Amino acid sequence: MLIKKPDPIKSSEITDRAVWQDRRRLIKAAAAAGVGLVAERAGALASRPGQGQAISGVVDTDYGRGLALTDFQDATSYNNFYEFGTAKSDPARHAHSLQTRPWTVRVDGECDKPGEIGIEDILKDFTQEERIYRFRCVEAWAMTVPWVGFPLGDLLKRFQPNSRANFVAFETLFDPQQMPGQQRGVLDWPYREGLRMDEAMHPLTLLATGLYGEVLPNQNGAPLRLVVPLKYGFKSIKSIVGIRFVRDIPETTWWKLAPREYGFYANVNPQVDHPRWSQKRHRVLGAGLFAAKQPTQLFNGYAEQVAGLYRGMDLSRFY
């Protein structure tokens, strides 16, 4: 089957460099929409039910303040992470085999300063700069998780993407010994995902290093994962080892496997049904099998912040 790809995004259509480099101005703009940062250190984060390693130097935010959080046990035991098995409970059972230290992320492609950076350097740099934040995000429709992390753009701009960088491609670790699910051909390994440059630079697109005030559990994508709350969950790639700036739309895992079912953009949209089920309503995780389904919101409820990224696009075609 031939896949008709969107026309390449012109550099003129990407968020202006001066805008995405000035993260604090973007955050202030977000604050006006009710989702800004609180300029105070969260000395007392939410209770840590997992009792894992606490993350220090966290600045609390207003993202999702007031939302009822998903139970820690549900958020860490009901996961899609095919590298450890296809059942929702497989990652929690098998992900202990993953060694997350040392861990290096390679960043290259259309940028002026390609290189590698270790997870310890990432954590040290952003913690010292008081730029590790807690965001309460509704993720993949049905979970509200207090992610700990920072805007992806804060890391990407260090490598100075050039004017030819229209998209950002991501890659998960490929190591079948540590990730036994990769010993089966259920997907074309390694797992790959991608974003348009302006999506990647938006302050709501996060790199998460933890949740509930603790270091990210393996089954949730340790040590570094993407969180894009306006999109369906498969876009939020886990255990990232590679980031590449590219000119053309990158080929991603689920889009390649089933393009009619999983589009490149994957924005949450109740008006675009999956070919095998309706996406107009969803059930909140932990609410119980017989709980009433909730109406799905466009962009997962973040339309006020992100709708401008897709102005003029046919969202039923670029789904």
Cβ-count burial 182-208 (b if 16+ within 10 Å, e if not): beeeebebbbbbbbbbbbbbbbbbbbb
User: Can you give the pLDDT at residue 23?
Assistant: 42
The string of pLDDT tens digits covering residues 166-218 is 999 999 999 999 999 999 999 999 999 999 999 999 999 999 999 998 999 99
Higher pLDDT residue, 266 or 54? 266
Q: Give the residue among 179, 170, 218, 300 at the shortest CA–CA distance from 53.
A: 218
Instruction: Band the pLDDT of 17: cuts 50, 70, 90.
Output: very low
Q: How many helices (H) and strands (E) does the chain have?
A: 9, 14
What domains, with CATH codes, occur in the chain?
11-260 (3.90.420.10)
Helical ranges in 33-158 per DSSP H? 72-77, 90-94, 119-128, 152-156
Parallel, antiparallel or unpaired: strands 206-211 and 143-151 = antiparallel
Q: Which two tokens stand for residue 60?
A: 């609390």
Q: Is the dihedral of CA 102, 51, 83, 242 positive or negative?
A: negative
Share of the chain above pLDDT 70, in %: 80
User: Can you give the pLDDT at residue 62?
Assistant: 77
The string of pLDDT tens digits covering residues 37-47 is 222 223 333 44
Residues 6+ apart with CB under 8 A from 65: 136
Phi and psi of 143, rounded to 5°? -125, 140
User: Can you give the pLDDT at residue 252?
Assistant: 98
Parallel, antiparallel or unpaired: strands 104-109 and 240-246 = parallel
Q: What does the mean pLDDT of the chain come to? A: 83
